[in-house]
Structure 1
Amino acid sequence: MNEAIAALEAEGWSHIPLDTFSATIDPVFTRGEPGVSREVAVKTNPGMANNRADTVHGGAMMTFADIALGIGAVDAAGGPYCATVQLNYHFVRSVRVGQLVICRPQAVRRTSRLVFMRGLFEVDGEAAGSADGIFQYFSGPALRAD
């Protein structure tokens, strides 16, 4: 996997180290200017496989959608934190393990507390899925669940 990371970094992608649950789909990358031309990508790997070992599990794609749109929401809100309020993912086609999935998150609207996001998820320039989500942004280190 280090070779894949090095190859993508040579193409201008920056690896984002993930922790906790998000790390289950590492490695994730970004490139471009935050809030303007930001792209987010995931290099799919065997740990993301479905029961059929050659395709990526839908839950992994939804996790990536949450991360990609969340990065866009933080960009739109000026950071530093956001929490997912709602996320919808629409599967268009399967993704094979080893493929690079790219999303260009787009802020649709920002209110005083929420950012409405959408994104198209592509593999080799072809749509693999689409998502829309609502994110609450805040400045503190954690949002309580009560």
Structure 2
Amino acid sequence: MNEAESEISTPPDGFEPLIRKGAFSVHNGPFFFRPGDGEVVEQAFYALPRHANGLGLVHGGMLSAFMDGLLAAAVIRQARRPAVTIHLSVDYLHMARLGEWVMGEARLTRAGKDVAFAEGRAHVGGRDVVRASAIFKLMNRER
């Protein structure tokens, strides 16, 4: 754990570190999740300096990447297949700041043979900061 990560406050109740395999997610984390097998996937991150723009606000690119991963997790959990994003729509509603926990929740809204749809939101202290929806290409599992 580097010096900035040691500044992360205790995760919200019920959240655990999320182990990600991809270098992009590892670099941009750490991320946390609430275990469960229901329809709603919950993840979070603590806003560190590397997540912010020059104004001390969480960068829109960080929020977009967080929502992309969160929506994908909802699709993968419910469709039980790997998926890749083919469209992502993000609405920025409010600001998130350094030192805040950004909480996200997402769910699969529909899945067909080849594509799936998901929607979700990220919030800080009860106020929505982002709403997003996405379309995913469902992949076949590698053998």
Report TM bin, short chain. Answer: 0.7 to 0.9
2:60 match: 58
Change (3 A) 1:102 1:82: same
- Choose 39-48 or 29-38, whichever is displaced more: 29-38
Q: CA RMSD in A?
A: 1.8
Deviations 1:16-44 (A, max 9, x none): 12332222320111114234343111111
**Aligned residue for 1:45?**
48
Question: 1:3: how far off?
Answer: 5.9
Alignment of 1:83-122 (within 5 A): 83-122=84-123
Count of aligned pairs: 137
TM superposition score normalised by structure 1: 0.84
Give the percent of matched residue pairs that are identical in Structure 1 and Structure 2: 25
The aligned residue for residue 138 of structure 2 is: 137
8 Å contact 1:17–1:26 — kept in the other structure? no
| Structure 1 spans left out of the alignment, 5+ residues | 142-146
Q: C-alpha displacement at 1:135, in angstroms?
A: 1.1
CA contact (8 A) 2:41 2:70 kept: no
What SS does the aligned partner of 1:65 have? Answer: helix
Alignment of 1:4 onto 2:21: no
Large movers: runs of 4+ above 6 Å: none
